[in-house]
Amino acid sequence: MIIFPTGSINIMQYTLRQLAYLVAVADHGSVTAAANALYTSQPGISSAIAQLEAQFGLQFFIRHHAKGVSLTPAGQSFVAAARNLLAHAEDLSQHASALSQSLQGNLELGCFTTIAPIFLPRLLAAMREDYPDISVRLHEGDTEQLQQALLSGQTELALLYDLDLAPSLYRQTLQTVLPYVLLPAAHPLAGQVAVSLQDLAPLPMVLLDLPHSREYFLSVFRLQGLEARVRHKTVNFELVRGLVAAGNGYALLNLRPQTPQSYAGDQLVCLPIVEEVPALNIVLAWPQELRLTRRAEAFVTLCERSISRLG
Partner DNA sequence: TAACCTTTCATCCGGCCCAG
Partner DNA sequence: CTGGGCCGGATGAAAGGTTA
Positions that interact with DNA (CB under 7 A): 13, 15, 17-18, 30-33, 39-44, 46-51, 63, 65-69
Name which of 43 and 191 has its Cβ closer to DNA.
43
What is the full DSSP assignment across 31-53? HHHHHHHTTS-HHHHHHHHHHHH
Instruction: Supply the minimum distance, in Å, between the C-beta of residue 13 and DNA.
Output: 6
Name which of 9 and 264 has its Cβ closer to DNA.
9
- Judge whether 120 and 138 are in contact, CB under 8 Å: yes
The one-letter code for the residue type at 39 is Y
Instruction: Supply the minimum distance, in Å, between the C-beta of residue 54 and DNA.
Output: 10
Instruction: Supply the minimum distance, in Å, between the C-beta of residue 59 and DNA.
Output: 10
DSSP state, residue 245: H
Instruction: Supply the minimum distance, in Å, between the C-beta of residue 3 and DNA.
Output: 17
Q: Could you give the CA distance from residue 149 to residue 287 in angstroms, rounded to a whole number?
A: 10
Name which of 48 and 251 has its Cβ closer to DNA.
48
- Judge whether 291 and 88 are in contact, CB under 8 Å: yes
Name which of 26 and 116 has its Cβ closer to DNA.
26
Name which of 55 and 308 has its Cβ closer to DNA.
55
What stretches of the chain adopt beta strand conformation (E)? Answer: 61-63, 69-71, 104-112, 133-141, 157-161, 169-177, 180-184, 204-208, 229-234, 251-253, 268-271, 280-287
Instruction: Supply the minimum distance, in Å, between the C-beta of residue 148 and DNA.
Output: 24
| CA-based nearest residue to 303, from 133, 122, 161 | 122
The one-letter code for the residue type at 85 is L
Name which of 37 and 190 has its Cβ closer to DNA.
37
Instruction: Supply the minimum distance, in Å, between the C-beta of residue 6 and DNA.
Output: 13
- Judge whether 214 and 259 are in contact, CB under 8 Å: no
The one-letter code for the residue type at 299 is F
